[in-house]
Every structure is written in structure tokens, then in C-alpha cells.
DNA sequence: CGGGACATTGAACCTAGTCAACGTCGGTGG
DNA sequence: CCACCGACGTTGACTAGGTTCAATGTCCCG
């Protein structure tokens, strides 16, 4: 089956040229010269890949990407930016927003075709990759007889790669689905009035993201950011609703997840309230150890400070103390836990 | 229909004497001379009221009361202590554990009969009282067609009066049902290692208590204590499970409650972490105002301290400041909010 | 190998906790 | 009905722990 490519580019020469090349290469091509029309075309008939200029009047490339990422049907479509600007900052901004690649104009035919093919191939690779995470989801649904629903969900797997430091959703965004983290690591944070961050959660492979926003039908209460390159699977809201209504087991499972979450939050509250800095630090390290299942991990002082609700300087000092006491080892931003037992028993 | 009375009393003379009186008065009487047997009798054939001695070998009266409160079928049965000790401390301990009355030996026939009748009458009164709370539950269940289930639950309404400062459940207890608070006010707290309390929640009429323990099938993560005399309705675990499996709407409703709970806990976490004492105090007062729907309320400095995670002395000081600034009024343990707007906008 | 981001260390400051003494309220018993 | 007691609330003085500001050191990426 022919792959559909959507091109959004306001320069007529370039657009026509690209269309010609792609049609020769056997793709079906849709095109437009402005961002708004591009978004609408994408919604009407989901393409397999999108090429998009950054600098455009009215709605620019970043805006297009943002709007597309709001809808489940377009969120997973590979997105390649076309631009004359090869500057560092723009490139990063685009990648952080979730673009998959970047072509600097002028580009030759081979470059273009190679980029498209590599993206399409990668996307297919991901479909196969889905790992245990989704199998677990299958289990969950299949427990009783949700076979049809199960098939449907898996067939329509939407996936999305997220790069380090990229924001998955912002506090206040209305969610469009539930995320299942397939690989990587993600943190959720809340911002205090003065700009300080508090980490409300840290997630690893097989964890669900945004459960409570999704299930309470409200906007996200925190901001989710990738701590490292991650792969996410989106379960669209409507399908989730359907599952919940059809299969009590699914609802029970989510209820359990939520209830445990509350438990954890309450524990954290107690710690935050009355524990000394040493104790809070120890607990933060233990949480990291538990969820990475390893005795060493990389984390910035800033993130640690946000986890334990203290100043970065205090983190530094406390870690130095811990090192002097033989509890941990540290080099740069890598921390290795040496004496788990004593950390666990840390007195207040 | 004849009412069943169970008597647990190790002194043979007194027991025989009471049995005689009660049978003359038209009650069906079961009796035993030790606590263990008493508990078993109560489980086998739920009595309408229980009279129980405190001082007994093996299992004393407090133990009996505790064991009975663990089972849904006996939790709501009126319980009267019989004892020679008229001392203040014992009386309070008994009442705090949930005893409904106290008879000091020696007591005469009239005293005994009056106590029993008053208890039975009160219990019946409660059945009628149930107020809007349960009607709301009905709504919830009836939304679709859960008529049968609905009827069943309402028929088997278990109710229980809880006196001020009485503990409803302890952290670590395995729950046997979900509580619906019909009237009164309840707090849930967690204890830090050093004994300081942190209030994790405060509940008013129509709120559910212990949702997350119940739904995650684990022990309670906090201790629930009545802030004033309260009336609770117990929805036994099994019925809850049934409802959840039969009616997705019910599950959805609870999911929403849980999700909102998480939201609140996260907000609290952020406050606890970075806010000044003044701000924390203001937030605590606002929370009290919101949930009592009144501008004045009675609360001890200790409870306030547990809510805002600070020392009672600091609470005193901060309240004094607030009063001087015209934000609140206070006399004894009653606080009146004067300037809601400024409290809300309290800067950090 | 240079620059910027990240980490460490020192010193000053300040908030809120602790300890202690005193005041106030409400309930109980004489 | 009043006096007393214990629980609860207030205020002051002192102190410890953590934040802030500032300077310096170290790592990593291009």
C-alpha cells in the first residue's frame, strides 16, 4: 500500500519540487502552503509522515506540531521539519517539541528520501517493539473476555518517542489519553509560585502516566517531562472509557493503581512535613534505587532537590556527608548506593 | 418480635440476676461467663444489644468490644459496659472505644431496663434518620438500573455512632467496609516516628472514609478519629465489590473521588514543601472554611498544627498575628474568618 | 581546549522549633 | 455556687537547622 506524505511549505518552488520527487518515488502526496490548512488536512486524512516548514505566516511549524500532538490520531505521525535555519537553538526547540527529524534547506533528493524512509522504517520498528508493557495490558483486558476491545486497542497502538527534557504535557493541559511508558524515565513536577519545582512522581517502564487526570476528566495537575529518551504509548480517552464501562476488571486495576498512588503521596506528605533533611535525602535516594532497580543512577542535584523539597546546595552538602560516612559513592552526577541498610534505617 | 440481649459477665450472681429481670421484661436472653464465648455467640446469632463486664479473665470487655467492631454484622450492635469501677478514666476509655453506655454495679432493675430501652430506641431512631447521604448513594447506584443492589444495601444499613475523639480505625487495621459519614466531622492522621501527627484529611457529612484502603484491598494507611460526635454508615466490603463489578457507573464515581483525592494531596505536598508558615496556616484555615461552609469553626491548636505541619506554639503565634492584622477573630478555640479575600491571597 | 552548565564549599542570616513560664477556660466535686 | 484542677492556649527567650548569597571548582560537550 502506498504511503501518504503531507507537505506543508509556503515556498512554491520548494513544495512543487518535493512533490515531484516523492511522487516519482511512489508516495501519495498531499500538500498545502500554510499551517492551518496543513493541520486540517492531517486531521481529515491521517498521513503516514509529515514534512513541514518552520517559518510560515499565520501558523508556524512549531504551532502545527503542537496542534497535531493534541489529537490522538496525529500524535504518532512522524514529523520532519524543513528549514533554512540550521541554527542550534531552533533545532533543539523543534526536537524538544517532538519533531522526529530536521532537514536543512537546500537538501538534495537523496537526503529527503533517506530521511523519510528512515522515519517510516523506525515507526514500523516501534510497532513491533512494544515489549512486555502492552502484553501486560493485554493480560489485563483479556482477564475476562475483552477480546474484541483488546484487539482494537493493540491494532491502533499509537506510539511516540520523547527526547530527554522534552515535555509530554503541561499542567493545565486537557489530556487526550492515558500514557503507558514503554521505555525510558519520566518525572512529573508541580511549580510553586516562586518557580521552585516539586517532583510529584517519577516513572519507569510499564508505568502509567496521567492516570488521575484522565480518569477524573480534568486537566493535568502537573507537568510531565522526560528524564531520558523515552517511548510512550497513548491509549486514547474514548477507548479507555469503553474499556472501563465494559470490563470491571480494568476499572478495578486502575482503582488499585490510584489507591496506591494516594498511599505513596501520603507517605511523602508525612516525610515532607516532619523529617530532617538527612532523612528526606535518604528517602529520595531509596525511591530512586527502588524504581531503577539498580544501585547507581544519574540524576542532577536540581532534580534531587525537587524530589526532596530542599535547596540544591543542601543536596550537595548532604550527599558529601553521606559519602564521607560511606553510605554512597558519587562522581559527577552519578550516585552509587553503598550501604542500603544504613540508608534505610537513617534516623531523623 | 422479641429483642435478643446478650450478657457477658463472669460473676454468676449478677449474671443470673440480670437474666431473670430481662426475661421477665420480655427479652430473649443469651449469656456466657467469659469474653471469648461471648464474641462467638455474638457472631453466631447477632443480638440486638450486648451487656458486657469489663473485668474478666482471658478476654476483657475492651477486647470483646474491639473484636465485635471488626465485623460488619456486630459493629452496629449497641454495647453497654457493666462494671464496678466508676472511675473517670475507665469510663472514658470505654466510651472512646465505642461503647454506647455504662452501668456501674450495683445497679437496680429500673436502671438496667431504662438503659437497654433507651439504647434500642436510639438505634431505631438512627435507622430512620439516615438523611440525604444515603439517598445520594441511591442516586449513584440507581443511575442505571442497579435497583436490586440498591435495595439490598439500604435494607442492610449498618450504622454506628461515634463519639468525639473516638477512633474509627487505626493505621494498619484491615478494613471491613467503606464508611459513609452521615453527620459529624472526622479527621484522618498519620503518625511520624517521633509521635507528631500529620492530618491527611478532614471529612464532613456525605464524605466517604477509607476509600483507598477499601478499594486497594490493603490495610488502612492512616488513623481515623472523630472530631465531634458523628454518625457513620458502613457499606460492607462484599457488597461494595458486588456493586463495583455490576455497575461501571459506581466504579467511575469512586475513581473520580480517588483522582480528586490525589490532586488534593499533591497540592498539599507542594504547600508543605515550599510555603512559609503564614501561607500554610492560611491554607489550613481556608480548607476548614471550605469544608464546614461557615466562616467560624472550633478547632484545637493541636489539630491545626497537625493540619499545617507545624508546632502548636507556632499556630498560636501565627493566629495572633492574623488577628492583629484583622484577618480573623478568635476566642478560645473558636476561629472566625473576617477577611477571606486577603487570606486567599496571602503571599508567601 | 575553551566555555557553559553543573557541583561544591563557606559564611551570614533567618525561620520556625523547643523549652519554659504563665494565662485562661470549662468542668467536677465539695 | 464557688474553688480547684487539668487541659488548652499564649507569650518570651533561645537555638538549631536550612536557605540564601557568593565564590570557587569540576565536568562535559562541541
Residue of higher predicted confidence among A159 and B6: B6
Per-residue cell: B96 = 472512646
Among A137-146, A188-197, B30-39, top mean pLDDT goes to: B30-39
Is the pLDDT assigned to residue B127 strictly greater than 60? no
* Residue given cell 536543512 in the structure block: A104
Give the pLDDT of residue B98: 64
Weakest mean pLDDT among A285-289, B162-166, B170-174: B162-166
Q: Is B171 helix (H, G, I), strand (E, B) or coil?
A: coil
Condensed to tens digits (0 to 9), the pLDDT of residues A229-244 reads 888 888 878 778 877 8
Is the pLDDT assigned to residue B131 strictly greater than 50? no
Considering only CB atoms, which chain A residues are within 8 Å of B266? Answer: 190, 200, 221-222, 265
Residue of higher predicted confidence among A182 and B319: B319
Give the pLDDT of residue B154: 46
Per-residue cell: A175 = 489530556
How distant, in Å, are the alpha carbons of A73, A141, A243 from that of A150?
18, 6, 9
Predicted confidence band of residue A152 (pLDDT cuts 50, 70, 90): low
Average pLDDT of span B274-296: 91
Residue of higher predicted confidence among A216 and A242: A216
Q: How many CB atoms lie within 10 A of CB A292?
A: 15
Condensed to tens digits (0 to 9), the pLDDT of residues B13-56 reads 889 988 998 898 889 999 999 888 999 999 899 898 999 888 78
Residues of chain A that touch chain B, judged by Cβ-Cβ distance less than 8 Å: 190, 192-194, 196, 198, 200, 211-213, 215-218, 221-222, 244-246, 248, 251-252, 254-256, 258-263, 265-270, 272-275, 309, 348
Average pLDDT of span A215-236: 86
Q: How many CB atoms lie within 10 A of CB A163?
A: 17
Q: CA(B313)–C1'(D11) in Å?
A: 9
A325 touches strand C (CB under 7 A): no
Average pLDDT of span A168-172: 87
Predicted confidence band of residue B58 (pLDDT cuts 50, 70, 90): confident
Is the pLDDT assigned to residue B172 strictly greater than 70? yes
Mark residues 297-316 of chain A whose C-beta is closer than 7 A to nucleic acid strand C: 300-302, 312-313, 315-316
Among A73-82, A260-269, B232-241, top mean pLDDT goes to: A260-269
Is the pLDDT assigned to residue B316 strictly greater than 90? yes
Q: Is B115 helix (H, G, I), strand (E, B) or coil?
A: helix
Q: What is the mean pLDDT of chain A?
A: 81
Average pLDDT of span A300-324: 93
Give the pLDDT of residue A281: 95
Give the pLDDT of residue B150: 45
Minimal Cβ distance to A273: which of B198, B256, B274? B198
Calculate the dihedral angle through the C-alpha atoms of A220, A225, A231, A236, rounding to the nearest 10 degrees: 10
Is the pLDDT assigned to residue A150 strictly greater than 50? no
Considering only CB atoms, which chain A residues are within 8 Å of B222? Answer: 266
Let me know how long chain A is: 348
Calculate the dihedral angle through the C-alpha atoms of B29, B33, B39, B40, rounding to the nearest 10 degrees: -80
**Ramachandran area for residue B203 (φ above 0: left; ψ -120 to 50: alpha; else beta):** beta
Considering only CB atoms, which chain A residues are within 8 Å of B256? Answer: 215-217
Beta-bridged to residue A275, according to DSSP, are none
Condensed to tens digits (0 to 9), the pLDDT of residues B92-117 reads 566 566 677 777 777 777 778 877 88
Q: CA(A318)–C1'(D19) in Å?
A: 14
Give the pLDDT of residue B265: 92
Predicted confidence band of residue A11 (pLDDT cuts 50, 70, 90): confident
Rounded to the nearest 10 degrees, what angle do helices B88-97 and B61-68 cross at? 10
CB < 8 Å & 24+ apart, contacts of A305-311: A306/A187, A306/A189, A306/A196, A306/A197, A306/A198, A306/A199, A307/A199, A307/A202, A308/A277, A308/A280, A308/A281, A308/A283, A308/A284, A309/A198, A309/A272, A309/A280, A309/B272, A309/B273, A309/B274, A310/A277, A310/A280, A310/A281
Mark residues 308-327 of chain B whose C-beta is closer than 7 A to nucleic acid strand C: 309-311, 313-314
According to DSSP, residue B201 is labeled: E
Q: CA(B88)–C1'(D6) in Å?
A: 13
pTM for the predicted model, two decimal places:
0.71
CA distance B29 to chain A (A): 44
Give the pLDDT of residue B157: 62
Condensed to tens digits (0 to 9), the pLDDT of residues B188-231 reads 999 888 888 899 999 988 888 988 888 888 899 999 988 888 88
Give the pLDDT of residue B107: 75
Query: Rounded to the nearest 5°, which phi and psi values hold at B315?
Result: -60, -50
Predicted confidence band of residue B91 (pLDDT cuts 50, 70, 90): low
Give the pLDDT of residue B94: 60
Nearest CA in chain A to B245: A248
Condensed to tens digits (0 to 9), the pLDDT of residues A32-91 reads 998 889 999 998 988 989 998 888 878 888 888 878 877 767 777 888 888 775 554 455
Q: Angle B195-B197-B200 (CA atoms, 0-180°, nearest 5)?
A: 145
Is the pLDDT assigned to residue B151 strictly greater than 50? no
Residue of higher predicted confidence among A336 and A182: A336
Give the pLDDT of residue B269: 92
Q: What is the mean pLDDT of chain B?
A: 81
* DSSP β-ladder status, A49-53 and A4-8: parallel
Is the pLDDT assigned to residue B296 strictly greater than 80? yes
d(CA A243, CA A146): 8
Q: CA(A314)–C1'(C4) in Å?
A: 23
Beta-bridged to residue B52, according to DSSP, are B8, B81
Q: CA(B272)–C1'(C10) in Å?
A: 29
Per-residue cell: B226 = 472523630
Nearest CA in chain A to B261: A262
Strand D contact nucleotides, protein CB < 7 Å:
8-13, 17-22, 26-28
Predicted confidence band of residue B124 (pLDDT cuts 50, 70, 90): low
| Contact present, A82 and A51 (Cβ < 8 Å) | yes
Condensed to tens digits (0 to 9), the pLDDT of residues A94-107 reads 555 667 777 777 77
Predicted confidence band of residue A154 (pLDDT cuts 50, 70, 90): very low
Mark residues 248-287 of chain A whose C-beta is closer than 7 A to nucleic acid strand D: 276-278
Give the pLDDT of residue A137: 54
Residue of higher predicted confidence among A285 and A249: A285
Average pLDDT of span A163-184: 83
Average pLDDT of span B285-313: 91
Give the pLDDT of residue A313: 93
Is the pLDDT assigned to residue A23 strictly greater than 80? yes
Minimal Cβ distance to B348: which of A194, A260, A348? A194
Is the pLDDT assigned to residue B275 strictly greater than 80? yes
Sheet harboring A167-169: ordered strands across?
Answer: A167-169, A223-226, A186-191, A197-203
| A5: Cα separation from own chain's centroid | 24
Q: Is A8 helix (H, G, I), strand (E, B) or coil?
A: strand
Which residues in B1-24 are b (16+ Cβ under 10 Å) and which e? eebbbbbbbbbeebbeebbebbee
Is the pLDDT assigned to residue B136 strictly greater than 70? no
Amino acid at each position: 500500500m502506498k504511503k501518504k506524505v503531507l507537505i506543508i511549505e509556503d515556498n512554491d518552488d520548494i513544495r512543487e519540487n518535493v512533490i515531484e520527487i516523492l511522487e516519482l518515488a511512489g508516495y501519495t502526496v498531499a500538500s498545502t502552503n500554510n499551517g492551518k490548512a496543513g493541520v486540517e488536512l492531517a486531521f481529515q486524512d491521517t498521513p503516514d509522515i509529515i514534512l513541514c516548514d518552520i517559518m510560515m505566516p499565520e501558523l508556524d511549524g512549531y504551532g502545527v506540531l503542537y496542534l497535531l500532538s493534541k489529537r490522538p490520531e496525529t500524535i504518532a505521525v512522524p514529523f520532519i521539519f524543513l528549514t533554512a535555519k540550521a541554527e542550534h537553538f531552533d533545532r533543539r526547540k523543534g526536537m524538544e517539541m517532538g519533531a522526529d527529524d530536521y532537514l536543512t534547506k537546500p537538501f538534495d533528493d537523496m537526503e529527503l528520501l533517506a530521511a523519510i524512509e528512515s522515519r517510516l522504517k523506525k515507526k514500523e520498528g516501534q510497532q513491533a517493539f512494544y515489549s512486555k508493557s502492552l502484553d501486560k495490558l493485554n493480560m489485563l483486558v483479556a482477564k475476562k473476555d475483552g477480546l474484541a476491545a483488546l484487539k482494537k486497542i493493540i491494532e491502533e497502538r499509537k506510539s511516540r518517542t520523547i527526547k530527554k527534557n522534552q515535555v509530554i504535557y503541561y499542567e493545565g493541559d486537557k489530556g487526550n489519553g492515558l500514557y503507558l511508558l514503554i521505555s525510558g524515565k519520566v518525572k512529573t513536577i508541580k511549580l510553586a509560585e516562586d518557580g521552585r519545582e516539586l517532583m510529584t512522581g517519577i516513572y519507569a517502564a510499564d508505568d502509567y502516566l496521567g492516570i488521575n487526570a484522565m480518569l477524573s476528566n480534568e486537566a493535568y495537575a502537573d507537568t510531565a517531562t522526560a528524564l531520558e529518551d523515552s517511548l510512550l504509548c497513548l491509549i486514547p480517552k474514548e477507548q479507555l472509557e469503553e474499556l472501563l464501562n465494559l470490563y470491571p476488571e480494568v476499572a478495578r486495576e486502575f482503582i488499585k493503581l490510584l489507591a496506591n498512588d494516594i498511599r505513596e503521596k501520603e507517605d511523602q506528605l508525612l516525610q515532607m512535613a516532619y523529617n530532617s533533611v538527612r532523612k528526606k535525602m535518604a528517602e529520595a535516594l531509596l525511591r530512586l534505587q527502588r524504581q531503577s532497580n539498580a544501585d547507581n543512577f544519574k540524576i542532577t542535584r536540581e532534580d534531587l532537590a525537587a524530589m526532596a523539597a530542599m535547596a540544591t546546595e543542601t543536596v550537595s552538602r548532604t550527599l558529601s556527608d553521606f559519602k564521607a560516612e560511606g553510605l554512597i559513592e558519587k562522581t559527577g552526577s552519578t550516585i552509587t548506593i553503598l550501604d542500603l541498610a544504613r540508608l534505610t534505617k537513617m534516623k531523623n
